[in-house]
Structures are given as C-alpha cells and as structure tokens.
Amino acid sequence: MPSHPLSRRSFLAFSATVPWALSARAAKSIPAGLELYSVRNELKKDPEGTVRAVAQMGYQSVEFYAPYFEWSESQTKQMRKLLDDLGIRCFSTHNDSSYLSPEKIGRARDMNLILGSKYVVMASADPKPGPDGWKAVADALNLAADQLESSGLKAGYHNHQREFIPVEKQRPIEILAKNTKPSIMLQLDVGTCLEAGSDPVAWIHANPGRIRSLHLKDWSPEPAKGYTVLFGEGSADWKNIFEAAESAGGVEYYLLEQEGSRFSELETAQRCLQSFLSMHGRE
C-alpha cells in the first residue's frame, strides 16, 4: 500500500488544529445546568414535576437553593432517585451562610451527600463593616471547608454586586480569594459582576482554577431591563467569558440563572438554554 506522508507544512498545520479540536470537544462536555431559583414559583408548587420538566428541556444538572435545607431525609432521597432516573446531576447547592456554620454544617453535609453534590456554596454573606468583616467570612469558609473535606465535599462562595464594590480600597471578593483555601470554589455570578462595573473575564484570569462554576445570568444597563433580559440579550461578552472560564477558570459546570423575564419561568428557562447551546457552539 503506498504511503502518503505529510509535508512539514501540512503536518504543522494539522498539529495546530489538534489542541483546538480537543479543547472544543472538552468544552462541549461541560454540563449545562439550571439554578432552580429561576423556576422558584414552579418549584414551590411541584418540586418533582419542575425538575422533570427542566430535565426534559435538555438541562444536564440543577442547583437547589436554600429551601432544600428544610426537606426531610426521605424527601431528599426521593429527589436523588428522581435525578438518577432522569440522568441529571446536582453538582452544588446554594445555601444561606448559616448552613455552613458549625451548628448546621452537619445537616448540610448529609443532605448534599444524598443529593450527590460536590460543592456546598455559600450564597451570600452579611459581614461586619470593613475588610475585617470579609476576612471573618473567609475564616468561616475555611472552617466549613475543613469540616466538609473528610466527606469528599468542598465549600464555595457565590458573589453578588457588593463583593465587587471596594471597601476601604479593597474589593471584598479579592479579600475572600486571598484569604480562603484554593479548594474553595469562587462561583462567579456574571450579571452581578457586570452591574458592579467589574470585568468578569479579568476576574476569571486573575483567579485561575477557582472559577469552577458560573451563574450565566445576563444583565442590561438599561434601567427598564436590568436582569429581566434573557441570556444573550444583555451586555455580557459571553464568547470571551466562555473562553476564559474554559482556558483559565477551571470551569466544571455552567448554571443558567434568571430572575424573571417577559415569559413564564419554564419558558424563560427553555429559551435561555437554547440561546446558551447556540452561543456555546453546541447547535
């Protein structure tokens, strides 16, 4: 059989495409999930029916928010069974800060283990004024991380606007990043970062390997729109955000989030997923 060796130029050209091809394939395997606050009213009425509807849309994971903490053990196990039956995951939960306290973290740990979670995320904090208040939040996160570690779980922190607004010339999010263990995930809420006037791409590059999940919430500077825009209708530079998250941030999963729109909760979730799939090159 005759051989057809590549010329040096052809070989180099071919080789240059390989990392991109592998990277693109890996990027498309990053699960796309839904922060269930997006469908909070539906979830309150019918938790299992709502999760089933979300899975049928094509979401690969869900993130339960604070009310999950009030479930009984049997309810939690039933929800895990439903997730398994649907073939979707719960990679993280969104928690009140008190759930990561020494008094409650045992329950949070047990429930997250049942759900199959990997991260127990502090959804927000209300620290005492000044940088020392934020250092105390970092200390609480480190303690929680130590208590979760033996169970194979990790702690995380989710930002809002206030973490990107300087306090005595320091942004609280930078205080948290500097004073927390590298194992603690810095879950980036894109929309609130934008509203605070910060650059999510720059933040991701400044914290390589720690932005392991992102809340893909868009935001418009137009006062009448704000957070009511669908994914892709706001000011976020999603192409560069994805590139930064996948090349530097260490993203493990994406979470679409919506605070409300001109459509119903479920239709909003479906439309946002379709826009994400298109923008992320999955369609």
Which of 10-24, 84-98, 117-131, 237-251 is predicted with the least confidence, judged by mean pLDDT? Answer: 10-24
pLDDT over 90 (residue 255): yes
**pLDDT band of 7, cuts 50, 70, 90:** very low
| Across 128-145, average pLDDT | 97
Strand partners, 89: 61
For residue 35, the cross-strand partners are 63
CA dist 188 and 263 (Å) reads 25
Residue 260's pLDDT band (cuts 50, 70, 90): very high
pLDDT band at residue 21 using 50, 70 and 90 as cut-offs:
very low
Q: Which of 1-10, 31-40, 106-115, 123-132 has the lowest mean pLDDT?
A: 1-10
* Interval 217-246 mean pLDDT: 97
Report the greatest alpha carbon distance in the chain: 77
Q: Stretch 15-29: mean pLDDT, rounded?
A: 55
Distance CA 181, CA 218 (A): 29
pLDDT score at 26: 77
Structural domains in the chain plus CATH codes: 29-279 (3.20.20.150)
CA distance 68 to 112: 10
The DSSP output letter for 34 is E
Using the predicted structure, report yes or no on whether residue 105 has a pLDDT greater than 70.
yes
Residue 16 pLDDT greater than 60, yes or no = no
Asked if residue 56 has pLDDT above 70, the reply is yes
